[in-house]
Amino acid sequence: MDSLCEIIALFKSIDVLNNNKNKTEEYFVIMSSLKTLFAIMGLSVAAISSAAAGSVDMKGLYVDGSVGVNFTSYSFSSIHSTTFSKAGINVNAGYKVNDYLAPEIGYTYYGIGLNGVDVALKGMIPLNVGTYGASIFGKVGAAHLFTTSGGSSSVTDPMLGAGFAVGVSKNVDWTVQANAVIDSFSNYSYSTIGLVSTGLTYNFG
């Protein structure tokens, strides 16, 4: 606002000069150019200030929950197949150290009697889009998978994830993401199992 007030004051002083000076053609050209330049500067300052005021504080604790559909992908000899089948859920909690990095823990139910608990490092790229911003993100970590029916078995494998988030209010984001555990339950021919889901994130910061 201070910058805009200074620009307005400068406009007034230019108008006073217009009334008192000899209005030659060269003088009018110079004054018109200066006014145009200062007007552009004023609009730029206002736009930057408005964008900063609408930014969300991306640091601090967050939780998210989402629902979606699981997928399994396997290879056996020359046969490759990916199947989307059962509904599943995913919940996560993490701490945004800064705009770009967050350690995270999560739980996933894949809808086929299979559960997963994971620890991951989440990398984010913030985007200056809309009123509350947006981001794209990726995850890398490890997941411990275990069954809850038909006997018990478990395995720990690498996990990858990716998605995007769009701010819908100061503290709430809408998210779409896909997480996949690599080479899980390979004895049953599955090389990958994962979940594609959508839901909401609440940022406590």
User: Phi/psi of residue 11, each to 5°?
Assistant: -60, -45
The confidence score (pLDDT) of residue 93 equals 97
Q: In the structure encoding, which two tokens stand for residue 156, read together?
A: 């720990």
| Chain-centroid distance, C-alpha 174 | 9
The confidence score (pLDDT) of residue 45 equals 43
d(CA 96, CA 13): 49
d(CA 54, CA 133): 8
The confidence score (pLDDT) of residue 108 equals 96
Query: pLDDT tens, 75-123?
Result: 665 566 677 788 999 999 999 999 999 999 999 999 888 899 999 999 9
The confidence score (pLDDT) of residue 53 equals 35
Query: pLDDT tens, 4-62?
Result: 455 445 445 545 445 544 445 544 545 565 455 455 555 544 444 444 333 344 589 99
Query: pLDDT tens, 149-179?
Result: 766 678 889 999 999 999 999 899 999 999 9
The confidence score (pLDDT) of residue 51 equals 42
Q: Helix-strand-coil percent breakdown of the chain, rounded to 5?
A: 25, 55, 20
Q: How many residues are there in the chain?
A: 205
